[in-house]
C-alpha cells in the first residue's frame, strides 16, 4: 500500500483543514467540492452531491447541449439531476503543493440506486481492469506527459489572447541538463510536492520544443497511474500559477514547435506476477499474447481516436510528421510508428503507445487501450508485419480520422465501442465531440484573417 495514503482519523492531528473530494470529468479535469476537515467523516457516510452537468458540458462549461436535450444523463426535461460522489479512501493523500489540503478521489453513483455512473472515466477504467482480473491477467501502465511552460503571468496571458508567449527555454534543449538547471527552483519544489503526495515520479527533462518539459511516472496499476496523472496535472497548474508562470497541456500550443505527447507504456502480467509479453524463443522475444494485444490495439485505433485525440487541436499533432504516431503501424524500437515494442528483458518487455497527446484524458485513453488489447487477446487477432524505417514514408492510412468530426462518427458507429461502454454513452461522447467540431467550423481563425483579409 502507498505509505502516503492517509487515514481519515489522522487528518486533524496532522494539521489538515480541507479535504478536496473530486472525480475526473470527461476532459480529464478534477471536479468536486472542498470539505472542511471536520465534515469529512459525514461525507464518508453520505457522499457529496454534484450536478450531472459536470459530465455534460464542454471544455468551456457551455450548457448548450444540455439545453437542447442532447443527453439522456442530463437535460432540462429531467431537471438536471445530481449524482453522489463516493470517496475512495485508498486515494486519500495530502496535496503537498497546497498548505493544509488533502485530496480524496471519488466515483459518482446514482443517488437512489447507488449504482456507479457508467459514463464516469474512472468507472469506465475500473470496469476494464476488472475484466482483466476476471481473465486472470493484471495490466500495468505508465504515462509520459509533456507540457509547455511560459514565463507569462496566467491571468495576463488570457487577457492578452495568449499572444507574446515567453517560453522558459529559448533553444531546442532535449535532454540538455543546463537548461533544466535554470528552472531547478521550480521543478525541485514540484518534485518534492509530488513525492510528498505519493505521486511517484521516475524522471524529468527539458524537451525539444521551446519551453517544453516532460515528467514520467513509476510504472504500476492503470487506475493508480491515471489518478497520479490527474493529480500531477493539477499540481503543475497550481504550482505554475503560484510561481507566476503559465502552463499548457494542449497537444500543439505553438505553430512552429512540436506537439506535447502522452506516451503510454503498457504490459500484462499473469496472477503470479510474470509477464505474458515475453517468449525466450520468439522473434524479438515477443510472445503470441503480446502480438495479439498489439494487433487489437492497432485494429481499434480509429474507433477510439475521440479518446486518444479528444480536441480539435489534437489533430494538429497526430496529422504531423513529428513522431506523434503514424496510423495503424507498429515496430521494434521505432519512434515513427504508433505502437513501439520496447524492452530487452522479461521485466522490461512492453509496448509504447505514441498517439495520445497531452490533452488526453488518462482514464479514457487507458480504458480504450486496455479494451483493445484484451479484444486482440480474446480473438487471437493477426498482427501485421512491423514497419521498418520511416513510417511517414508509407501511404497515408485512409482508415484514420483526420479531424475530430470524423472521429466522433467512427466512435459512435463502432459496435465494439458500444459493446464496451454502451450505446447511450457512445452517443454522449459523439455529441460532445461533434459539437466541439461544429463550434470550430463556425469560428473565424487568426490564420484565415492573415491569409485572406486583404488578399482575396
Residues facing residue 206 across a β-bridge: 213
* Residue 95 placed within a domain: yes
User: Does 49 share its domain with 157?
Assistant: no
* Residue 433 placed within a domain: no
**Lowest mean pLDDT, pick from 59-63, 102-106, 174-178, 332-336:** 174-178
What is the model's pLDDT at position 201?
Answer: 84
Domain boundary among 116, 136, 167: 116
User: Does 91 share its domain with 183?
Assistant: no
What are residue 384's phi and psi, to 5 degrees? -70, 165
pLDDT over 90, % of the chain: 93
Helix axes 288-300, 362-379, angle to 10 degrees: 120
Residue listed under C-alpha cell 438536471: 80
User: Does 59 share its domain with 140?
Assistant: no
What is the model's pLDDT at position 198?
Answer: 93
User: Does 397 share its domain with 339?
Assistant: yes
User: Does 82 share its domain with 183?
Assistant: no
pLDDT in tens, 26-69: 999 999 999 999 999 999 999 999 999 999 999 999 999 999 99
* Residue 441 placed within a domain: no
What is the model's pLDDT at position 175?
Answer: 82
Whether the predicted pLDDT of 1 surpasses 70 = no
Distance CA 199, CA 407 (A): 33
What is the model's pLDDT at position 380?
Answer: 98
pLDDT in tens, 173-221: 888 888 888 999 999 999 999 999 999 888 889 899 999 999 988 899 9
* Residue 436 placed within a domain: no
Residue listed under C-alpha cell 475500473: 126
Range of the domain at 159: 128-404
* Residue 89 placed within a domain: yes
Q: Are strands 18-24 and 101-109 parallel, antiparallel or unpaired?
A: parallel
What are residue 32's phi and psi, to 5 degrees? 155, -150
What is the model's pLDDT at position 176?
Answer: 83
pLDDT in tens, 264-279: 999 999 999 999 999 9
Whether the predicted pLDDT of 418 surpasses 90 = yes
Question: pLDDT grade, residue 297 (50/70/90)?
Answer: very high
What is the model's pLDDT at position 200?
Answer: 85
Domain boundary among 116, 138, 156: 116
Domains in the chain: how many in total? 2
* Residue 421 placed within a domain: no
What is the model's pLDDT at position 103?
Answer: 98
- What is the rounded average pLDDT for all residues in the chain? 96
Query: Are 79 and 88 a contacting pair, CB within 8 Å?
Result: no
Residue listed under C-alpha cell 465534515: 39
* Residue 79 placed within a domain: yes
Distance CA 73, CA 87 (A): 21
Query: Burial level of 452, CB count in 10 A (0-12/13-18/19+)?
Result: exposed
* Residue 122 placed within a domain: no
- Cα–Cα distance list, 455 to 260, 449, 451 (Å): 33, 10, 7
User: Does 106 share its domain with 164?
Assistant: no
What is the model's pLDDT at position 409?
Answer: 98
What is the model's pLDDT at position 204?
Answer: 87
Residues facing residue 217 across a β-bridge: 201
pLDDT in tens, 382-398: 999 999 999 999 999 99
* Domain CATH code at residue 223: 3.30.590.10
Domain boundary among 70, 87, 116: 116
Distance CA 123, CA 117 (A): 7
pLDDT in tens, 119-171: 999 999 999 999 999 999 999 999 999 999 999 999 999 999 999 999 999 88
* Domain CATH code at residue 87: 3.10.20.70
User: Does 298 share its domain with 341?
Assistant: yes
User: Does 33 share its domain with 172?
Assistant: no
User: Does 16 share its domain with 105?
Assistant: yes
User: Does 133 share its domain with 207?
Assistant: yes
User: Does 149 share its domain with 78?
Assistant: no
User: Does 108 share its domain with 167?
Assistant: no
What is the model's pLDDT at position 174?
Answer: 81
**Lowest mean pLDDT, pick from 34-38, 169-173, 236-240, 363-367:** 169-173
Angle at 244 between CA 240 and CA 250, to 5 degrees: 45
What is the model's pLDDT at position 2?
Answer: 67
What is the model's pLDDT at position 286?
Answer: 98
Query: Are 242 and 227 a contacting pair, CB within 8 Å?
Result: no
Query: Burial level of 39, CB count in 10 A (0-12/13-18/19+)?
Result: middle
Amino acid at each position: 500500500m502507498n505509505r502516503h495514503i492517509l487515514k481519515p482519523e489522522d487528518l486533524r492531528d496532522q494539521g489538515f483543514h480541507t479535504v478536496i473530494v473530486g472525480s475526473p470529468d470527461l476532459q480529464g479535469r478534477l471536479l468536486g467540492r472542498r470539505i472542511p476537515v471536520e465534515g469529512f467523516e459525514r461525507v464518508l457516510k453520505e457522499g457529496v452531491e454534484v450536478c450531472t452537468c459536470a459530465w455534460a458540458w464542454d471544455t468551456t462549461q457551455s450548457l448548450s447541449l444540455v439545453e437542447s436535450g442532447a443527453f439522456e444523463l442530463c437535460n432540462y426535461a429531467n431537471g438536471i439531476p445530481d449524482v453522489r460522489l463516493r470517496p475512495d479512501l485508498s486515494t486519500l493523500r495530502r496535496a503537498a503543493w497546497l498548505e493544509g489540503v488533502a485530496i480524496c478521489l471519488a466515483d459518482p453513483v446514482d443517488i437512489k440506486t447507488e449504482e456507479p455512473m457508467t459514463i464516469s472515466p474512472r468507472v469506465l477504467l475500473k470496469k476494464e481492469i476488472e475484466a482483466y482480473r476476471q481473465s486472470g491477467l493484471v495490466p500495468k501502465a505508465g504515462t509520459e506527459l509533456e507540457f509547455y511552460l511560459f514565463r507569462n503571468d496566467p491571468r495576463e496571458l488570457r487577457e492578452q489572447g495568449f499572444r507574446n508567449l515567453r517560453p522558459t527555454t529559448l533553444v531546442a534543449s532535449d535532454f540538455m541538463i543546463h537548461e533544466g538547471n535554470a528552472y531547478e527552483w521550480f521543478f525541485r519544489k514540484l518534485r518534492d510536492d509530488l513525492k510528498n503526495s505519493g505521486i511517484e515520479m521516475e524522471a524529468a527533462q527539458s524537451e525539444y520544443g521551446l519551453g517544453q518539459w516532460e515528467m514520467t511516472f513509476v510504472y504500476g496499476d492503470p487506475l493508480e497511474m491515471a489518478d497520479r496523472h490527474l493529480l500531477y496535472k493539477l499540481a503543475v497548474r497550481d504550482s505554475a500559477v503560484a510561481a507566476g508562470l503559465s502552463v499548457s497541456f494542449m497537444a500543439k500550443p505553438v505553430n512552429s514547435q512540436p506537439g506535447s505527447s502522452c506516451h503510454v507504456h503498457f504490459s500484462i502480467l499473469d496472477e503470479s506476477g510474470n509477464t505474458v509479453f515475453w517468449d525466450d524463443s520468439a522473434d524479438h522475444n515477443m510472445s503470441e499474447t503480446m502480438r495479439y494485444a498489439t494487433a487489437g490495439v492497432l485494429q481499434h485505433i480509429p474507433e477510439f481516436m475521440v479518446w486518444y485525440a479528444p480536441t480539435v487541436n489534437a489533430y494538429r499533432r497526430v496529422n504531423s510528421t513529428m513522431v506523434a504516431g503514424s496510423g495503424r503501424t507498429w515496430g521494434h524500437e521505432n519512434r515513427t510508428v504508433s505502437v513501439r515494442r520496447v524492452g530487452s528483458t522479461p521485466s522490461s518487455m512492453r509496448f509504447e503507445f505514441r498517439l495520445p497527446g497531452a490533452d488526453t484524458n488518462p482514464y479514457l485513453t487507458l480504458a480504450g487501450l486496455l479494451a483493445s488489447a484484451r479484444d486482440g487477446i480474446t480473438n487471437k487477432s493477426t498482427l501485421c508485419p512491423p514497419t521498418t524505417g520511416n513510417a511517414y514514408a508509407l501511404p497515408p492510412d485512409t482508415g484514420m480520422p483526420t479531424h475530430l468530426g470524423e472521429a466522433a462518427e467512427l466512435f459512435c458507429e463502432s459496435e465494439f465501442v458500444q459493446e464496451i461502454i454502451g450505446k447511450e454513452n457512445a452517443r454522449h461522447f459523439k455529441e460532445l465531440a461533434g459539437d466541439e467540431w461544429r463550434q470550430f467550423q463556425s469560428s473565424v481563425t487568426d490564420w484565415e484573417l492573415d491569409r485572406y483579409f486583404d488578399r482575396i
